[in-house]
Structure 1
Amino acid sequence: MARGKAVLRVCFTAEDLLQVTFADEPAPMVELTLAIAALQRPDPLFTLWRQRTLHALPRSAGPLLELVPATAKGPLFLDPMSRGFDDGLDQVLSIPTPFVRTELRRVHAVDRRPIPWTRLLADRDREAWQILEHAVRAAHAGLLAGSWDRIRAGFDAERAWRVQLLAAQGIRATLAGLAPGARWHGTTLEFDSTDNVEIPLNGNGITLLPSVFWTGRPLVGKYAQSTFLVYPAVTPLPLLDDPAANALAALLGRTRATILEQLTRPRTTTDLAHQLDLAKSSVSEHTKALRAAHLTTAHRDGKTVWHSCTPLGLGLLTGTLSTTRIARRP
């Protein structure tokens, strides 16, 4: 390791390695914070998205740009783990005042831009918190609401692909593959970082949370007794918006391409028929064709047949065919 290089160290025990899990779904408040950061990051991949989004973003969302910097290291009370936006916003608005003050002091110590209205947040000023609530609602409407289906599809594809890698390569290789330059020293996983940070897991394990907005180095956050590692999804949002999806539809047909996207998670024929408003017989024909092309697989559980993507199908969806081929080698 080069002298002076900042490192994020995640210290595992053997018990922690047995408790590495993937989040079930995207965390709306976390993705919102990372989207705010992406608006300020000079990332060429997000240039067109940033220009389009900033032009359309409501002015009332502006206060979040003052609270969350391009590094995404804003106050932790803004991005609690939640299963839905409303639940997450409720958690933000009910956060204990001492934690608010601690986090605002931490952020101001790093980012010295004067933000007078945040002092009112620390004092629990009612009007300041109403401004924050309106900013969060406006940012959610402008950044996430219209793109949530694509965000969820990208998350599901990423999660399914990593599970395939886990089965093929094991937990250590999968974790080291989350970011360029990641390496193991014994049971400590190191990532290049902007700060020297050491995170002991102490037998509580860690949850992996991919983001389609984040392209920086992995971030670690603690919520209650749980530790989450946020890392960039293979396919970021601008590529999910890209017309490449139309190319897949042209290759497979729109319906089969849509079914393949749905099968990043196991689903039954009934699930697909209901989700896509198709007859079961039509779904069966499409899944049969996808299975014949080795893009999906099926297994029976009693009377129920579950369909899911193969590594080849996931590679088509995520643009990672070469990596998928490597993963399939004995």
Structure 2
Amino acid sequence: MLRIHFTAEDLLGVRFADGPAPLLELGLAVAMLQRRDGGPGFARRRRTLSTSGARAALAPLRQLVPPTGAGPLFLDPPSEDLDQGLEAVRSSTTALVHRELTRVTTKGGLPATTLLRHLADQDQDAWQYLERAMRTAYPDLVGTVWPRLRTGFETDLAWRARIQREHGLRGMLVGLHPGSRWRGSVLEIPADREVDVRPGGAGLVLMPSAQWTGGPLAGPYPLGTLLVYQAVTPLTLLPEPGPGPGPNGGPQDDPIAALLGRTRAAVLRLAGREPTTSQLAAELGISLASASEHARALRRAGLVTTVRSGRAVHHSRTGLGHRLLSP
């Protein structure tokens, strides 16, 4: 369980980050490549990396970032671009490096490799090797999907603003992750380990990520505690950047289709009738496997739920799915 202990000053200081952070997204991508819940999008990225120089660059980064995403804090400082972030990494204090490497090897389950020992000893060759790895991996892991990461970030902010208008700040915060709840002034978020976070009056900075599928991650931030969580629209549901369809219709005419893709938008609309997978396939003229995959992707995004009734599987819209379609 992740517990965030709020003071009145912390609640007044809740705010969103200005945008996705380049090195933070790089670390999350490294973690996602080690997980199996990223869907077909990350499966394709693994195949692409197998023939690129970025695959070799992943080796040192995997030594620092576990599948949980909780890598050392000096590896992903907040920054506006890659160069600024790498400069901050190079400027990490010896005390911070020692503390964070100790944490990821004792609590994070990472082995104390030769690279980590050399980084702790401030070996310049090791730090240059790490910087080269980050520069090499960044274009494939983050640069190619940056427009989609920013779209996911902005979509999530718009959705959270609507929730906050209707349900207040406490309602918005409890909706950041399924199963969260308030106990007095403590926000409890389901997690696989016990963590207590006390912003201490500095507030909470919210950072949605369109590629992260794990539980929320919390850590110190220059302007308060940073909370990273899965954006309401994950990367797998965001269309690839590129020219829109022609004048005969399509995503340019339908904002939901532009967000989810035409077929998934159609599945979401049909889910209001609680169709089976076979009915979805017949209605849309697609295969059963394709209908099942689209429904699965929408379910991962929290837009539909799936219930088995005998041999049939019925799909229905969630409250979030209904609200996304409402004008």
Q: TM-score range by the shorter chain?
A: 0.7 to 0.9
Does residue 54 in structure 1 map to residue 33 in structure 2? Answer: no
Contact 2:79 2:85 in 1 (8 A): yes
Q: Deviations over 1:82-120 (max 9, x none)?
A: 122211111001111121111111111132524112111
Aligned to 2:159: 161
Structure 1 stretches of 4+ with a deviation exceeding 3 A read 245-258, 318-322, 324-329
The CA distance in 2 between the partners of 1:118 and 1:249, in whole Å, is 53
Unaligned runs of 5+ in 2: 260-300, 304-316
Q: Give secondary structure in 2 for the equivalent of 1:24.
A: coil
Q: What residue number does 2:88 align with?
A: 91
Give the 3 Å change call, closer, same or farther, for CA 112–83 of structure 1 in structure 2: closer
Q: Specify whether residues 170 and 58 from structure 1 end up closer, same or farther in structure 2 by C-alpha distance, changes over 3 A only.
A: same
Aligned positions, number: 268
Q: Give unpaired runs (5+ residues) of structure 1.
A: 1-6, 263-317
Instruction: State the match for 2:294 in structure 1.
Output: none
1:118-267 equivalences under 5 Å are 118-241=116-239, 252-253=249-250, 255=252
Name which of structure 1's ranges 245-254 and 47-56 shifts more when overlaid on structure 2: 245-254
Name the amino acid aligned to 2:11: L
Distance change >3 Å, CA 129–CA 186, structure 1 → 2 = same
Distance 1:44 1:21, change over 3 A: closer
2:101 alignment partner in structure 1: 104
Corresponding residue to 1:72 among 69, 73, 76: 69
Is the contact made by 1:49 and 1:238 (CA closer than 8 Å) also made in structure 2?
A: no
TM-score computed with the length of structure 1 as normaliser: 0.72
* Paired letter, 2:20: P
What is the Cα deviation at residue 249 of structure 1? 7.9
- TM-score when scaled to structure 2? 0.73
Q: Does 1:13 align with 2:10?
A: no
SS at match of 2:142: helix
CA distance in 1, matches of 2:46, 2:91: 33
CA deviation profile, 1:230-272 (whole Å, cap 9, x unmatched): 10012222222479x99998885565568x979xxxxxxxxxx
> Relative to structure 2, which stretch is displaced further, 137-146 or 39-48?
39-48
DSSP-derived class of the 1:10 partner: strand
> Post-superposition shift, 1:74?
1.3
Aligned to 2:263: none
In the alignment, the residues of structure 1 paired with residue 248 and residue 11 of structure 2 have an alpha-carbon distance, to the nearest angstrom, of 40
Q: State the Cα distance separating 1:26 from its structure 2 match.
A: 0.4
**Rounded Cα–Cα distance in structure 1 between residues aligned with 2:105 and 2:254:** 47
**Shift of residue 176 of structure 1?**
0.7
Q: Please give the secondary structure, in 1, of the residue aligned with 2:218.
A: strand
Q: CA RMSD in A?
A: 3.1
